[in-house]
Amino acid sequence: MFVFRFLLFVRSCQDFSLVAEQNEDTIEGIQALIKDYQKKYSVILEEQEDLKVSIKERQEMTQKFKERTEKVTEGLKKDQISFKEQMAAEKAKLDALKQEDCELMEELQRLQAELKKEDSQNAQLKERADVFSKMPEKNFVFSGKTGKADDAEEFEMKPHIRYPMEEGTALITFEEEDVAANILEKRKHKVDLGGECHITVEAQPVHLMMPSLVEIDTDICPHRVLVSNLPKMDTEMLLNKLEIHFSKSKNGGGEVESCDFLPDSGTVVIAFVKDKIAEDLALTEHHKVDFYKNKHIVRVTPFVNGTITNLETRTSMCPRTVLLTGIPDVMDRETMQDMLEIHFQKNGNGGGEIEAFLYNPVGQQILALFGSAAPEPEEEEEEE
């Protein structure tokens, strides 16, 4: 547009230059100049109009670009805000997934630990079941009347308590609880030893620590076996034969560490130096042993160790047993015990019928054994 106008203006000037110059001093010359300037003015006006139109167009275009820029900027801002919100939402989802993954991992670890514990318990139960199935056989004969299941007796655990006696003390068990209560109520007792000699003893209650709950965890001993179904013979000879037989590798045995007889069950416990031997012998189970030209089949089963895992106790006072203290060493044991028994048997002294009596003189140590619900003291051992 500008180029076209400029070329037109140049051509006009050239055209004017081709016109014969008029004398400016004449009227014709002046009129010619006026026409020439009028043409130039018209051209300038046209160009000015064109410039105005162009400026207006440029302003409109600038305004459009500005509006478009603002619109694009606003859109970008909105997109940025939306992107940030989306990123925050995705981050929150990611954090939630991580938290859920962490919780799932913890739950998985917990379940794996529980499963491992269950497997361990199942293995122990299976081991116990295998042990119980291989326990020494014992024949029982049950006789009596049948009854309802509700009438069945509950399991009863009888205590077997060792009570260490101090020097110069005695334990008396009366047949009646009232007699023991009278002796304890009087407390101080003057015992006549004959002539003008007497001693004063003090009666005290006997408190025993009784088990109320016992939980035992069992496991198979890796180097011991229990041998049952044994023949009737001398114990020493029996142990020698078993030790010789099971020490030989051809019989599946090995070096024997110890061989002990259990009198309560009539079985023998054999301990080996190496662990694997006991397991192999228990798997074979039945073994033919030579007992002085007579072969006898014995049964070899795993030896079960027991460990107390929980023990709850309670203190119980013996209702019929009284402890006498302060007994001096003034005569021999038998005579002193007779004097004490005679004194506490007399009704006039508050005594009564005596069921058991145990005296521990000065200088000796005795363990009294209580073994029933109504404990009766028995002398277990004595050391000078």
Residue 160 confidence (pLDDT): 75
Alpha-carbon distance values, 103 to 116, 117, 334 (Å): 19, 21, 77
Three-state secondary structure along the chain? Answer: CHHHHHHHHHHHHHHHHHCCCCCCCCHHHHHHHHHHHHHHHHHHHHHHHHHHHHHHHHHHHHHHHHHHHHHHHHHHHHHHHHHHHHHHHHHHHHHHHHHHHHHHHHHHHHHHHHHHHHHHHHHHHHHHHHHHHCCCCCCCCCCCCCCCHHHCCCCCCCCCEEEEECCCEEEEEECCHHHHHHHHHHCEEEEEEECCEEEEEEEEEEEEEEEEEEEEEEEEEEEEEEEECCCCCCHHHHHHHHHHHHCCHHHCCCCEEEEEEECCCCEEEEEECCHHHHHHHHHHCEEEEEECCEEEEEEEEEEEEEEEEEEEEEEEEEEEEEEEECCCCCCCHHHHHHHHHHHHHCHHHCCCCEEEEEEECCCCEEEEEECCCCCCCEEEEEEC
Domain 214-309 superfamily per CATH: RRM (RNA recognition motif) domain (3.30.70.330)
Backbone angles phi, psi at 142, to 5 degrees: -100, 130
Query: What's the predicted TM-score (pTM) here?
Result: 0.47
User: Are residues 384 and 366 in contact, defined by beta-carbon separation less than 8 angstroms?
Assistant: no
Residue 25 confidence (pLDDT): 72
pLDDT in tens, the chain (384 residues): 434 444 334 444 444 444 445 555 788 888 888 988 899 999 999 999 999 999 999 999 999 999 999 999 998 999 999 999 999 999 999 999 999 999 999 999 999 999 999 888 888 777 666 655 555 555 555 565 566 655 555 556 666 788 888 999 999 999 999 999 999 998 999 888 887 888 899 999 999 888 888 888 878 888 999 999 998 888 999 999 999 999 999 999 999 999 999 988 889 999 999 888 998 998 888 999 988 778 899 999 998 888 888 888 888 888 999 999 998 888 888 888 888 989 988 888 888 999 999 999 988 888 888 876 544 455 554 443
Residue 218 confidence (pLDDT): 79
